[in-house]
Chains A and B, each alone.
Chain A
Amino acid sequence: MTTRIGVVTFPGSLDDSDARRAIRIAGGEPVALWHRDKDLHQVDAVVLPGGFSYGDYLRCGAIARFSPVMQTVIEQAKAGMPVLGICNGFQVLCESHLLPGALTRNDHLHFVCRDQRLRVENAGTAWTSDYESGQEITVPLKNGEGGYVADERTLDALEAEGRVVFRYLDVNPNGSRRDIAGITNEAGNVVGLMPHPEHAVEALTGPTTDGLGFFTSAVKKLVAS
C-alpha cells in the first residue's frame, strides 16, 4: 500500500506542487488538500508548504491557522500524525501552537535566497529518520521572516530535549536564536523548518538531492507502522 501524504494548498501557497513532486519521487502518493476542506481524505501525513498563505496578512501563518483544514490537521497532529511545515508551513505550525516560539522578520531586513548548509541535529523524528545525527545537508533557503525566536527557557528546553532538529551552518541567514533552522514537538511527529527540502530532491532542479530524505523518512515510517 502506498503512503498517502497530503499537501495543503492555502490561497498564496507557492511550493505545494514542489512538495507533491518530492513526495512522488520519494515513493509516496501525494494528495492535494484544500484549505477550506476539513476532510484530510485518509492521508497518513500532511505537509504544510511554503509560500505566503492569505498574503501573509496580519502575521505570517496567522490567518491560515484558523482555516478549516487546519482544525483537522491540529487535531490529527496532536493524535500523532506526522506533519511537516516548510517555511510558511513552519510559521503556520508556530501560530497554531503545535510548535513553540515564533518566526520574525530577518534581522537584516532583506529577503534571503541561497543554498544553505544545515546540520541534522535530531535524526529521530518522523521526517528525519533517513538522516544520521550530525549529517550536513544543503538545501535552498528563501524567506523574509525566518528569524526563529522563543524565550530563553523555551530555547533551553528545546536544546535539552533534543528538539532542535536543524541548525544553520556557515552563516546565520536571518538572526534565528541559537542558529535554529528547524524544531520538533515533544512526540517528534511535528517538524517545522525554514529551509526548503522539497526544492532539493533531484539533480536537474536542486543544488543537491539532500532534501529527499525528509519524504523517504515519512514514507518508510508510515509503511512500517
Chain B
Amino acid sequence: MARVVVDVMLKPEILDPQGQAVQRALPRLGFDGITDVRQGKRFELEVEGPVDGDALARVRELAETFLANTVIEDFTVRVVEADGVERAVSGTQAPTEGATA
C-alpha cells in the first residue's frame, strides 16, 4: 500500500476570494506579515499494489479529468512511501523537489 497525494490549486491568474478572506482575517487574529493566502484541495489516495508507472499514469489521468478542472486549476501528484519520504511525480505545475515529510 502506498499513498499518492494530489494537490489541487487555483491557477495563479484565477481570483481566489476564499483565500483573500482568510488573509484579511489574519491581522485581526494577531498574525501579521502574511501578504497572501491561496486556498486549495488535497486528496490522499490509498493505492492497492505497487505504485509503478502504470498506476501513476492512472492517478494522473484521474487528477486531470476529475480531481482538478484544468481550465481553472493546477495539480501536482506526489507519492508518499511507507517511510514517509515523498517523491514528486508530475502535475500541471512544475513539481517541487522531493521534500521529506
Contact = CB atoms under 8 A, between A and B. Distances in A.
Are A and B subunits of one complex?
Answer: yes
Interface of A: 58-59, 62, 66, 94-95, 100-102, 104-109, 147, 149-151, 175
Given A66-B66, A149-B15, 7 more contacts: A58-B66, A59-B69, A62-B66, A95-B69, A104-B15, A108-B17, A151-B13
Given A62-B66, A66-B66, A150 B17 contact: no
B66 A175 contact: no
The 8 closest A-B pairs by CB, nearest first: A102-B71, A102-B72, A109-B17, A107-B17, A105-B17, A102-B69, A59-B69, A109-B21
A34 B10 CA distance: 32
B25 interface: no
B89 to A, nearest CB: 21
A95 B69 CA distance: 7
Contacts of B69: 59, 62, 95, 102
B15 A107 contact: yes
Contacts of A108: 17
Nearest to A66: B66
Interface in B16-35: 17-18, 21
Contact of A149 (B18, B67, B72): B72
13 contacts: A58-B67, A100-B71, A102-B69, A104-B15, A105-B17, A107-B15, A109-B17, A109-B18, A109-B21, A149-B14, A149-B15, A149-B71, A175-B15
A66 B66 CA distance: 9
Interface string B35-52: 000000000000000000
A138 to B, nearest CB: 26
A175 B67 CA distance: 24
Contacts of A59: 69
Contacts of B10: 104
